[in-house]
Amino acid sequence: MATLKERIKDILLREKILRPEDLARALEEQEKSGGELSRILIRMGLLQEEQLAFILSEGLNLPVINISRLKVDPAVAAMLPADVLKKYQILPVSRLGDNLALAMADPLNVLVIDNVKALTGLTITPIIGRPRDIRDAIEQYSAPQTEDSFKKIVRDIKEAEEVELVSEGADKLDTKDIEHLTQEAPIIRLTNTIVRQAVLAKASDVFIEPLEKMLRIRYRVDGILREIDRMSKALHFPIVSRIKVVSNLDISEHRLPQDGRFKTVLEGGKEVDFRVNVLPTAYGEKVVLRVLDKNQGKVDIEKLGFEPEPLARLKECASRPHGMILVCGPTGSGKTTTLYSVLKHIDSPGKNIVTVEDPVEYQMKGLNQVNIRFEVGLTFTATLRSILRQDPDVIMIGEIRDSETLDIGVKAALTGHLVLSSLHTTTAAGSVVRMANMGIEPFLICSAVNCFVAQRLLRKICGHCKEEVRITQTLYDKLAIGRIMPGKDLLFYRGKGCPNCMGSGYGGRIGITEVLVLSPSIRKLVLSQAGELQIKAMARAEGMRTMREDAVVKAAQGLTSLEEVVRVTAQDEK
């Protein structure tokens, strides 16, 4: 079940295009500088451009098109300006309805594909072309540029790349100079493009990172970081300043971290929120944007991946008038989405629901949401004390970070409130031990907590390149598939890797969970201060399915691969 990168390495060695020591040298360089392996090989002189087309063809299982023999409609070829065609080595070769076939020297360049898709409004089908053929065809078919909207955006971005500003010169500009700079069309267009493409790529985070001699743009897609582009270091200061302006941050402050947020409206009126964090580093300010899609369809407890039995357990615990529901997992495991999904499930006009968060991630109608502001003394503990005086029915605490906040949450659950929150623990049973370590007495845990929900996010197999795969007996036994799903003739799948998934074999994510309800037997173990393994064993005996077992079920349903199951759940199995 090799990845695209592994298949390309195999091809390079099998065809004796590279010696093993040369490949090792290139991989070492990739580890240091990042970027695509193919481009590093070309830059190091170990691979020719012409060879790359055939290697990608075999790796992606796509044919290499002989563009010189195609009759391309000049009107189609002229859809993009000549300088763009030359810069990215691309050529539109045919259009059928809303589908545009785009010849590319590198069909894995998702930034180019997304740019063309966003700016033409068409669905892009990449095809592999030899670089020399594409260059010749560009000269033959490209028409003079016209003043259309696409050309104007590209021209503005090109102008932005020529901005003569560097971050080291920031102190020489006053506030009015910076504000004027951030209103310039090229910078606005370039920043908007970075933001828009992140949404189109379904990224959860955008990283704008200053390096020593350049600016790096990375997206986190399906939990995996992908380098999208590297730009001139001269663009760093104006882009960061533009983001500060739209986020209402202090554009003259470069020494301290800052937090903010802004909203953008995309085509079709879709609203997307971005949470902004600016952090000073050795080479300038690093900006991370958290993409918060306001589409409420995401915040739906029925669509999070819960199997019927654990979902019923969670709903029953949420329907109780008081007690705690604690969602556990590492950063980026979807805890906040689960908390909001539970809130949406139980929300009604007859309930007073208050949330306290740092910061508010989803803005939901009908909820009273408080944004923590440590700088003015609006802390979790201070806010919770005030909230309890306003007769709430349900309290959601974004995250429990210290013993004092946990203590107030437990007392609120004991005095007639339903309290929802999250903990940074790895398993549901481990959360019991974590609470005890934070100073909560076992009898209070038994009295206050309704259930623990531990979760992770698994990458889903790409629907465009999904294929059946045989598994070894060793893997079958390691994952205890026969015990989890006995007596069934199961099929498992993988993503082969294609342009739609950037060769990864995956697209989108789904949750895996374990729901531990504090039954009488579990409460007895907690009172006796039993360890995590004993609590986990009792919960499984009473029907709890662990995250590993839930993940195997998802793989048997064809939603994910067994490699992804092992990658995500290996640390939780003891």
* Torsion 354-265-161-131 (CA) sign: positive
Return the minimum-mean-pLDDT range out of 131-145, 168-182, 439-453, 461-475: 168-182
Has residue 35 got a pLDDT over 70?
Answer: no
pLDDT for 166 equals 34
Q: For residue 217, how many other CB atoms are within 10 A of its CB?
A: 20
Token couple for 194: 């970075």
In 194-240, DSSP assigns E strands to 203-210, 214-221, 224-232
Cα separation, 339 vs 301, whole angstroms: 9
**Tens digit of each residue's pLDDT (9 = 90 or more) over 509-551:** 999 999 999 999 999 999 999 999 999 999 999 999 999 999 9
Q: Taking the model in full, what pTM does it have?
A: 0.64
Higher pLDDT, 141 or 302: 302
The mean predicted confidence, pLDDT, of the chain is: 82
**Tens digit of each residue's pLDDT (9 = 90 or more) over 395-433:** 999 889 889 999 999 999 999 999 999 998 889 999 999
Higher pLDDT, 408 or 372: 408
Cα separation, 259 vs 247, whole angstroms: 8
Q: Is 545 exposed, middle or buried (0-12, 13-18, 19+ CB in 10 A)?
A: buried
C-alpha distances in Å from residue 452, one per residue of 13, 303, 419, 433: 50, 19, 12, 12
SS3 233: helix
What does DSSP assign to residue 221?
E
Name which of 365, 367, 366 is nearest 355 in CA terms.
Answer: 367
Instruction: Order the strands of the 449-461 sheet from edge to edge.
Output: 368-371, 353-357, 394-397, 418-423, 323-328, 449-461, 506-517
Cα separation, 217 vs 209, whole angstroms: 6
Has residue 157 got a pLDDT over 70?
Answer: no
Name which of 503, 477, 482, 495 is nearest 563 in CA terms.
Answer: 495
Cα separation, 40 vs 444, whole angstroms: 58
Higher pLDDT, 461 or 201: 461
Question: Which residues lie closer than 8 Å to 330 by C-beta, 6 or more apart?
Answer: 424, 426, 456
Among 101-105, 179-183, 269-273, 499-503, the range with the most confident prediction by mean pLDDT is 101-105
Q: What is the mean pLDDT of residues 549-563?
A: 92
Show the 3-state SS of 525-551: HHHCCCCHHHHHHHHHHCCCCCHHHHH
Q: What is the mean pLDDT of residues 162-185?
A: 46
Has residue 162 got a pLDDT over 50?
Answer: no
Name which of 429, 412, 406, 419 is nearest 518 in CA terms.
Answer: 429
Q: For residue 268, how many other CB atoms are within 10 A of its CB?
A: 5
Give the DSSP letter string of 366-383: T-EEEE-BGGGTB-HHHH
| Widest CA span in the chain | 81
Cα separation, 63 vs 59, whole angstroms: 10
The pLDDT-based confidence of 185 (bands split at 50, 70, 90) is low
Cα separation, 355 vs 336, whole angstroms: 12
Give the DSSP letter string of 167-204: GGGGGGS-HHHHHHHHTSHHHHHHHHHHHHHHHHTTEE
SS3 272: strand
Token couple for 193: 């493009």
For residues 433 and 534, the answer to whether their CB atoms sit within 8 Å is no
Has residue 127 got a pLDDT over 90?
Answer: no
Contacts of 149-152 with C-beta under 8 Å, sequence gap 24+, read: 149/119, 150/79, 150/80, 150/81, 150/119, 150/120, 151/81
What does DSSP assign to residue 465?
S
